Amino acid sequence: MPRTDPIDPNKQEDGSETDNVSQIFGERVRLLREHARLTLEELAQRSGVSRAMLSKVERGEKSPTIGVASSIAKALGTSLTYLTNGEEAHRAVAVVRRDERHVFRDSESGFERHLLSPAIAGIATEVLYHLLKPGTSTGTLPAYPAGTEKQVVVVSGTLTVSMKSGDTLLRAGDAMYFEADVDHAFVNRGKTQCEYYLIVSRSPRPNG
């Protein structure tokens, strides 16, 4: 996939950053959809996101929630990082300065996704820093491909990791590992903001 310029991670007081992210996200969704020769109706069926919502997202008129954005990325066979940040050329050493982080903000819940890793195409591991406000959730995140693993480390507040198998409550200092090939969600049922690190590793499982 060709390299694209990353989105400026610096938040603007007038909301221009959010508008910029929405425009670029929508443009990449449209280009990938057209490349796959999918209609909006077909992408809606694949993603579970309504045609009306997809149309608004592609035109940059609607900033998707983290759950919607993840569903669109899965349906297009790409990553959320690509849709929000683009891809950078591979290099042996990469430094990500604090003010250079790529940030995705959910306009509805206030959830923030900070990418701490470089957005290098094909990178096997991503390190993320998430902020989840009290009483909010990421919403259901679709299952990742088999072989994807997530590790969570809670820095402050409380976090509930919700899966079909049950809910797990994590407090500051707690950590959790799980195989992410199932639908799941992160929920803050506490009264204070939750901050946590998330490490996503992708490696295909051997057959048999």
pLDDT digits (tens, 9 = 90+) for 70-123: 999 999 998 888 888 777 778 889 999 999 888 889 888 999 999 999 988 778
Q: Please report the pLDDT score of residue 24 as a whole number.
A: 86
Q: Domain range holding 70?
A: 16-85
Block mean pLDDT (10 aa), the chain, length 208: 39 52 89 95 96 94 90 92 80 90 88 92 91 96 94 98 97 98 97 98 64
> At 81, which CATH number?
1.10.260.40
| 57 domain residue, yes or no | yes
Q: Please report the pLDDT score of residue 162 as a whole number.
A: 98
Q: In the chain, what is the greatest distance between 2 CA atoms, to the nearest angstrom?
A: 54
Pair (79, 20) in one structural domain: yes
> At 134, which CATH number?
2.60.120.10
Q: Which of 62, 85, 108 is the last residue of a domain?
A: 85
Q: Phi and psi at residue 6, in whole multiples of 5°?
A: -70, 155
Q: How many structural domains compose the chain?
A: 2
Cβ contacts of 176 within 8 Å, gap of 6 or more: 151, 152, 161, 168, 170
| 139 domain residue, yes or no | yes
